[in-house]
Amino acid sequence: DMHILFAGGIHDARSSAMVASMAAPLAKRGIRIGVLMGTAYLFTEQIVSSGTVVKGFQDQAISCERTINLETGPGHASRCSVTPFAHEFFAIRRRMLADGESAEVIKNTLEDLNLGRLRIASKGLERGDAGILNVGVHEQLEKGMHMIGQVATMRRSVVDLEALHRDVSVASADLLSQMNVDIPSETPQDKPADIAVIGIGTLLPGALQVREYWENIINKVNVISEIPPHRWDWRLYFDEDRSARDKVYSRWGGFL
């Protein structure tokens, strides 16, 4: 009764074959396996001919060499290609951080800025006082938010939809067959090691290096402080009427 979908970076025979290799032991137990693709479809002929997206969006996908995250707040980020709008987004975010604006004000401002930007990029449409209006090719690039996955950096040409599906299914199976991959039905259990090599890496308040962290412990340095505004606004979740004891716990929780 279990279905598992693998998602992220799947767009061709090789990436699909990687999923098949990982999922083979599960499939042998009767679990149904599937893959979820998104960005790969931006490179199909049909996505433009059907009117799903405008040609400018596909052109941007083909020329994409790097993606970035437009983050309005913690946990709220959209991966996009680098466009004039992306530069505008970061410029406004940097300015508001420098001005000391609260995390809530920054989040609301940036989310308002994002409104309708994907529609401009993908459909060439913008909502105005007179309703939905057409947007020119230049404005689509200047004002649109081109949401896209990192797969875009790995593809450079347009393909037929059927060819894409054949690549991630038939060609994927052929690739595994040519490689003569022997996938064990059960993963062998490794014998516990007699020696463990342990490393440590930290990025903590008041200690950018491991030595500083250790010295703070030895010297009993208290580095607990209120959460800085550029991380998130703790005041949204903190009741000023709590007791002093609760306040200490709240700061510890926010700090961690």
Radius of gyration of the chain (CA): 25
Residue 214's CB is within 10 A of a number of other CB atoms, namely 13
Could you read off the pLDDT tens digit of each residue along the chain, which spans 256 residues?
899 999 999 999 999 999 999 999 999 999 999 999 999 999 999 999 999 999 999 999 999 999 999 999 888 899 999 999 999 999 999 999 999 999 899 999 999 999 999 999 999 999 988 899 999 999 999 999 999 999 999 999 999 999 999 999 999 999 998 987 665 556 667 777 777 777 766 677 788 888 888 899 999 999 888 888 877 777 777 665 555 445 444 444 443 3
Task: Determine the Cα angle at 153 with ends 149 and 155, to 5°.
Answer: 100
The total number of residues shown for the chain amounts to 256
Write the DSSP symbol of residue 3.
E
* Tens of pLDDT, residues 211-250: 888 899 999 999 888 888 877 777 777 665 555 445 444 4
C-alpha dihedral (12, 15, 20, 22), degrees to nearest 10: -170
Q: Which residue bears the tokens 């994907």?
A: 118
pLDDT digit string, tens, across residues 57-91: 999 999 999 999 999 988 889 999 999 999 999 99
What is the rounded distance in angstroms from the CA atom of residue 190 to the CA atom of residue 12? 33
Closest CA to 166 of 44, 48, 54: 44
- Estimate the crossing angle of helix 161-168 against helix 170-179, to 10 degrees: 30
Strand partners, 79: 69
3-class secondary structure, 234 = helix
Q: Where are the alpha helices (DSSP H) in 99-225?
A: 103-114, 117-123, 137-143, 161-168, 170-179, 210-218
The pLDDT value given to residue 146: 97
Q: Please give the pLDDT value at position 160.
A: 97
